[in-house]
Structure 1
Amino acid sequence: MKTGFAPVIAPLVAALAAWGALPAHAESPSGTWVTSWATTLQQIPQRDSLPALYRAPNVAGRTVRQIVYPTLGGTVARVHVSNLYGRTPLVIEAMAMASSAGGAAANEGDTAKVTFGGRASVSVPPGGALDSDPVRIDVKAGKPYAISTYMGAEQTMAAWHRVANQVNYVSRPGNHTSDPSIGAFVERFTQYAWVTGLAVEAPGASAVAAIGDSITDGMRSSLNQNRRWPDALARRLAQSQRADTAVIDLGISGNRLLSDSPCYGEALEKRFARDALGHAGVRTVVMLIGINDINFQAMPARSGLDCDFPHTHVDANDLIAGYRRVIAEAHARGVRIVGATLTPASLPADREAIRAAVNRWIRTGGAFDGVVDFDAALRDPADPVRLRAMYDSGDHIHPSDLGYATMANAVPLADLRAK
């Protein structure tokens, strides 16, 4: 039987041979990998003059310390790094991982060096991605970990996850990967970059991938508090004797199902295989997407940076066809996919009609393996086109922390069972 793996294995073996024999700590465990934390990348707009919101920090020759919260524990981990959208190699001179001591501080006692093919440094080509060697470290679900990366002398940031809702840190020049104190980390930023996954060895466990737009991304939830609905779902699973299930958040604020954006990432149907199905251990996907497709078609064109471009006309049939394509892709990989109804957004009547038609199909079309009715959970009973006041963050589109918690409670846990 032909597997198609030979073209991939040959260069990988050659590369490992060039790097030399792997040290004992980097021997691959015999168990199963499951992604315990993840994020997604989007290209930073490429223009000579950008609003401050889209200007990346200077990372050349500095250490970037990023705080992540795994949703599944283990004693062996590996870090996934990506140079998606990079135009030059991603040069990492050194990396370390430790439990966080709050803010930019790390616990010196459990700091573990992260290597690639047995070496501290690695160069990832443009568009490439790489898993680290396995690292022996005690990973506890729900606790913060600091991943510190000393960048190459000429490294720039071409891609990020813009709405991290998490403060991360950049040091003064130098290798501060093993520095436990906060003194060297002089700059803050609220994006993620390069580090797009943390997996743990967890035989018998699986992951739920939550994918969508800003409402999955947790826009307007409390900074550094992990109040997005996927965070709340992870806590709910852990409390309901489902501690063997990770939840990873693959939302991108502003993302659309059908159209790319210069600011808000590739269309979900284009990134789905990479961003959701590409993670280890994913057996179920929960997808909430479409409100920006409905809204951006009516936004006025802007001179300069127009993040809503292209203003693609869509109707319910267009969105339904896109959902069907994504569903087919998930099923081809043996992954369950749960459809989520679009939440109230105080839309004008013509756009509200599209949302209503899409939600009817999600509820009754039978194409998804399950349905979570976020619309019913959040809408105002007296005015169903609007969010209930207690669930409204204030912009009439994005939920409050309580609204996000209510969404997590609305997810039927039975629909998350692994195949």
Structure 2
Amino acid sequence: MTTRSLAALRGAVLSSVLLVSAPVFAADAQSPWVTAWATALQPIPQMSNPPPLYRAPDVAGRTVRQIVYPTLSGEVARIHISNAYGKAPLVIEDLRIARAGSGAGVEGGTAARVTFGGKAGVSVPPGGEIDSDPVRTGISAGASYAVSSYMGREQKLVAWHRVSSQVNYVSTPGNHAEDASADAYRQRFTQFAWVTGLQVEAPSSSTIAAIGDSITDGMRSSLNQNRRWPDALARRASQSGDKSAGVVNLGISGNRLLSDSPCYGDALATRFGRDVLAQPGVKTVILLIGINDINFAAMPPHGGLDCDSPHTQVTADGLIAGYKRVIAAAHTRGLRIFGATLTPAALPPQREAIRAEVNQWIRTSHAFDGVVDFDAALRDPAEPTRLRRNFDSGDQIHPSDAGYAAMADAIPLQAVVGTGKK
């Protein structure tokens, strides 16, 4: 190919890609958009030879197909793209949304092109975020949708949501965004990347944001089954007859309230603005965080990648001060926030004392707009510092599918979905 032909090709590609010049973060309180599905990103440690858990798939010049389950319905939708933690532009050359089929396949004839400023692709600067143009595709709550993005030829995956509990797919090289067949999608991965929100035009609806650590993230729940407690809460709300309340899961496994991590993302007190306050339509927050702050101080440091660093010592007073910061941020934006008690984790006495003191404050301080007593829902009556056996996934920390369902059942639904302060 001649130099002139290469230049023409580059020009054609650039003409079809929207170049974003600045990050977009703030949610518009008057917007008709409501978040129907969302996830939170965390950095991928950049190492020459990372541990297997942190080896990202090759996405350059390939199509990535991610499966999402929105919790609200709407005729018009848009996709939110994030380049959080990026050091270079995030380039998507083609983006489609379709009704998901079996595995990586989609239902034929349902794919819709998603554009940005009228262009087929987008280049999002480091740290930037952008909403797509509206697309009339018809979203049904509880159904599965495939979001397929054909990535730039030099694109690397530097941030993800590591524990998706959902199988997603990477294709062989080339643009397979419009493919209904699963044939090109040879590689599976269980993370989410850059697609961090699906919003619907539903001005009479609102969203409950569940934010926290692995217990909100749904660690050890059944793969591809949507058995996390926020999923169960969304089903419970829908089955009650209320179709106007969506639920989004913004938990990150390993996340802490007060400390950043090279693997588990920014401290929740820091990421709350980006991950919750910027979500359109969020009116209520359920906060469950703190057990990793208590535990990671006791984890032995180790060479190489130490995801638990810094091994910060915490006190109940320190955690309470962090909760108050998050509560103030929520109230400043007019959001109601419910505090969830920390669940049993078979902790040694010193750490258990911190958990008990924090839970006592959550229950009695009235600092939150309401309390969700997950501790009471999950603890073994005979040994209150431990999970009930049938609610334990096997590691004495993370609930089983039955435990996650019990958590959703423990949420005061009328108070959380309603508009009054409870």
Q: TM-score range by the shorter chain?
A: over 0.9
Residue of structure 1 equivalent to 2:208: 208
Unaligned runs of 5+ in 2: 1-17, 20-29
Shift of 1:108: 2.0
Letter paired with 1:331 = H
3-state DSSP of counterpart to 2:66: strand
Shift of 1:345: 0.2
Shift of 1:414: 2.6
Residue of structure 2 equivalent to 1:418: 419
- Give the distance between the partners of 1:351 and 1:227, measured in 2 at CA: 29
Determine what percentage of the aligned residue pairs are the same residue: 68
Shift of 1:418: 3.4
- Give the distance between the partners of 1:108 and 1:95, measured in 2 at CA: 16
Shift of 1:377: 0.1
- Give the distance between the partners of 1:308 and 1:48, measured in 2 at CA: 20
Letter paired with 2:390 = M
Give yes or no for the alignment of 1:319 onto 2:319: yes
3-state DSSP of counterpart to 2:154: coil
Residue of structure 2 equivalent to 1:171: 171
Runs of 4+ in 1 over 3 A off after TM superposition: none
Answer whether contact 2:70 2:143 (CA < 8 A) is retained.
Answer: yes
- Give the distance between the partners of 1:328 and 1:414, measured in 2 at CA: 23
Residue of structure 1 equivalent to 2:217: 217
Query: CA offsets, 1:68-119, max 9 Å, x none?
Result: 0000011100000000111110001000000001210011211100000001
Query: CA offsets, 1:250-293, max 9 Å, x none?
Result: 00000000000011110000000110111010000000000000
- Give the distance between the partners of 2:140 and 2:412, measured in 1 at CA: 25
Residue of structure 1 equivalent to 2:132: 132
Unaligned runs of 5+ in 1: 1-17, 20-29
Residue of structure 1 equivalent to 2:235: 235
Answer whether contact 1:338 1:415 (CA < 8 A) is retained.
Answer: no
Give yes or no for the alignment of 1:73 onto 2:73: yes
Letter paired with 2:132 = S
Residue of structure 2 equivalent to 1:161: 161
- Give the distance between the partners of 2:142 and 2:122, measured in 1 at CA: 29
Answer whether contact 2:387 2:396 (CA < 8 A) is retained.
Answer: yes
3-state DSSP of counterpart to 1:37: strand
Letter paired with 1:418 = T
Answer whether contact 2:99 2:146 (CA < 8 A) is retained.
Answer: yes
- Give the distance between the partners of 1:99 and 1:49, measured in 2 at CA: 37
Residue of structure 1 equivalent to 2:6: none
RMSD of aligned Cα (Å) = 1.3
Shift of 1:48: 2.1
3-state DSSP of counterpart to 2:164: coil
Query: CA offsets, 1:328-353, max 9 Å, x none?
Result: 00000000000000000000000000
- Give the distance between the partners of 2:88 and 2:276, measured in 1 at CA: 25
Answer whether contact 1:108 1:178 (CA < 8 A) is retained.
Answer: no
Shift of 1:241: 1.7
Structure 2 length as normaliser, TM-score?
A: 0.92
Residue of structure 2 equivalent to 1:27: none
- Give the distance between the partners of 1:109 and 1:48, measured in 2 at CA: 42
Letter paired with 2:347 = L
Residue of structure 2 equivalent to 1:291: 291
Q: For 1:254-269, list aligned pairs within 5 A.
A: 254-269=254-269
Shift of 1:121: 1.1
Q: For 1:244-283, list aligned pairs within 5 A.
A: 244-283=244-283
Q: How many pairs align?
A: 393
Residue of structure 2 equivalent to 1:34: 34
Shift of 1:415: 2.5
Letter paired with 2:409 = N
Query: CA offsets, 1:195-222, max 9 Å, x none?
Result: 0000000121000000000000000000
- Give the distance between the partners of 2:419 and 2:124, measured in 1 at CA: 33
- Give the distance between the partners of 2:258 and 2:203, measured in 1 at CA: 36
- Give the distance between the partners of 1:246 and 1:102, measured in 2 at CA: 25
Residue of structure 2 equivalent to 1:347: 347
Q: For 1:322-401, list aligned pairs within 5 A.
A: 322-401=322-401
- Give the distance between the partners of 1:267 and 1:393, measured in 2 at CA: 26
Letter paired with 1:174 = G
Letter paired with 1:283 = K
Query: CA offsets, 1:368-387, max 9 Å, x none?
Result: 00000000000000000000
Residue of structure 1 equivalent to 2:4: none
Answer whether contact 1:257 1:290 (CA < 8 A) is retained.
Answer: yes
3-state DSSP of counterpart to 2:371: strand
3-state DSSP of counterpart to 2:157: coil
- Give the distance between the partners of 1:415 and 1:213, measured in 2 at CA: 23
Structure 1 length as normaliser, TM-score?
A: 0.92
Deviates more, 1:337-346 or 1:239-248: 239-248
Give yes or no for the alignment of 1:300 onto 2:300: yes
- Give the distance between the partners of 2:243 and 2:268, measured in 1 at CA: 28
Answer whether contact 1:69 1:142 (CA < 8 A) is retained.
Answer: yes
Letter paired with 2:191 = Q
Shift of 1:185: 0.3
Residue of structure 1 equivalent to 2:406: 406
Answer whether contact 1:91 1:151 (CA < 8 A) is retained.
Answer: yes
Answer whether contact 2:31 2:280 (CA < 8 A) is retained.
Answer: no
- Give the distance between the partners of 2:341 and 2:276, measured in 1 at CA: 19
Residue of structure 1 equivalent to 2:10: none
- Give the distance between the partners of 1:339 and 1:284, measured in 2 at CA: 11
- Give the distance between the partners of 1:418 and 1:222, measured in 2 at CA: 33
Residue of structure 1 equivalent to 2:93: 93
Residue of structure 2 equivalent to 1:15: none
- Give the distance between the partners of 1:251 and 1:31, measured in 2 at CA: 25
3-state DSSP of counterpart to 1:182: coil
Shift of 1:31: 7.2
Give yes or no for the alignment of 1:196 onto 2:196: yes
- Give the distance between the partners of 2:65 and 2:419, measured in 1 at CA: 34
- Give the distance between the partners of 1:93 and 1:273, measured in 2 at CA: 29
- Give the distance between the partners of 1:168 and 1:121, measured in 2 at CA: 21
